[in-house]
Amino acid sequence: MKVVHTIEELRDQLRGQNRTSFVPTMGNLHEGHLALMKLAHQHGDPVVASIFVNRLQFGPNEDFDKYPRTLQDDIDKLQKQNHVYVLFAPNERELYPEPQNYRVSPPHDLGDILEGEFRPGFFVGVTTVVLKLFSCVQPKVAVFGKKDYQQLMIVRNMCRQFALPTEVVPHETVRNGDGLALSSRNRYLSEPERKEAPRLYRLLNEVKDRIRAGEHDSVRVEHDAQRELAAAGWKVDYVSVRRQRDLKAPERAEVEAGEPLVVLAAAKLGPTRLIDNLEI
């Protein structure tokens, strides 16, 4: 695996390639990321991974400074797995040459809801950096995890809107045995918080089971789940049942008619904010 830090080196490595598959990451790689690399490897060749902690997608009170940066460890993991041909780890100047004025803004009805409501500017940061990375790598396929469901949807939407020649391929959320979705932020959890954390996924399953069993008042189901999380000491941002196709809240008639839905949740356990979702 080649590790490159500049766009020029990256282009040198990829000259003449037209089946490149790509996995963008912010590093601190875990089994979830490695599963994305594996899927990328099944979809194209060569596989490019990127590691870049993107300041633009962090809010002023978020964890940009303490976000774990573990480049050598990440390189070792990728080398051992042996699916990635080039690791692109640009520095900030390279990706955001001064003066940086350009931003990609997702449409409000997709970018300002759910995560976008609680993390203003987050999706502008994501789409801006993803477009830049796509422009550097020019992938035929890019793999994104379903854990960041709204991100996946917004990136897909961006590719369609800008007619980018990149197919966005989703990967199922990778979980620990107790159901907790893998995330770099899990390492912030204390021991008791780590024991409590799987409650989030259990509750998503309860929401799913109730709706599947014929409960059509999705708002009531959401409220029950929010109450249960709050009672267990979580600070809830949202538990929300949405339509899969556009992340809008479903009408009762749509729930009754079996519209494909997804329940998405974000809540803080101590200082750590966790997100998860489950398709219904």
Residue 25 interacts with ligand PAF (CB under 6 A)?
Answer: yes
Nearest-angstrom CA–CA distance, 53 and 68: 9
Q: Nearer Cβ to ligand PAF, position 130 or 280?
A: 130
Q: Nearer Cβ to ligand PAF, position 106 or 250?
A: 106
Q: How far is the CB of 19 from ligand PAF (least distance, A)?
A: 21
Selected catalytic residue, list 33, 41, 83, 171? 33
User: Which one of 4, 10, 14, 26 is in contact with ligand PAF (CB under 6 A)?
Assistant: 26
Residue ranges in 120-149 that form contacts with ligand PAF under rule CB under 6 A: 126, 129-130, 148
Which phi and psi (to 5°) does residue 129 adopt?
-70, -35
Residue ranges in 5-24 that form contacts with ligand PAF under rule CB under 6 A: 24
Q: Nearer Cβ to ligand PAF, position 115 or 222?
A: 115
User: Six-digit token pair at 170?
Assistant: 């989703």
Q: Nearer Cβ to ligand PAF, position 67 or 238?
A: 67
Q: How far is the CB of 255 from ligand PAF (least distance, A)?
A: 30
Nearest-angstrom CA–CA distance, 47 and 11: 14
What DSSP assignment string belongs to the chain? -EEE-SHHHHHHHHTT----EEEEE-S---HHHHHHHHHHHHH-SSEEEEE---GGGS-TTSSTTTS---HHHHHHHHHHHT--SEEE---HHHHSPSS--------HHHHSSTHHHHSTTHHHHHHHHHHHHHHHH--SEEEEEGGGHHHHHHHHHHHHHTT-S-EEEEEPPPB-TTSPBP-GGGGG--HHHHHHTTHHHHHHHHHHHHHHTT---HHHHHHHHHHHHHHTT-EEEEEEEEETTT-PPPPHHHHHTT--EEEEEEEEETTEEEEEEEE-
Examine the residue annotation and report whether 216 is marked as an active-site residue of this protein.
no
Q: How far is the CB of 280 from ligand PAF (least distance, A)?
A: 23
Q: How far is the CB of 24 from ligand PAF (least distance, A)?
A: 4
Q: How far is the CB of 122 from ligand PAF (least distance, A)?
A: 8
For β-strands 86-88 and 167-171, DSSP reports them as unpaired
Q: Nearer Cβ to ligand PAF, position 182 or 249?
A: 182
User: Which one of 20, 21, 28, 54 is in contact with ligand PAF (CB under 6 A)?
Assistant: 54
User: Six-digit token pair at 160?
Assistant: 């369609």
Q: Nearer Cβ to ligand PAF, position 44 or 125?
A: 125
Residue ranges in 74-103 that form contacts with ligand PAF under rule CB under 6 A: none
How many positions of this chain bind ligand PAF (CB under 6 A)? 10
Q: How far is the CB of 148 from ligand PAF (least distance, A)?
A: 5
Catalytic sites, residue numbers? 33
Query: In the complex, which residues of this chain contact ligand PAF (CB under 6 A)?
Result: 24-26, 54, 57, 126, 129-130, 148, 151
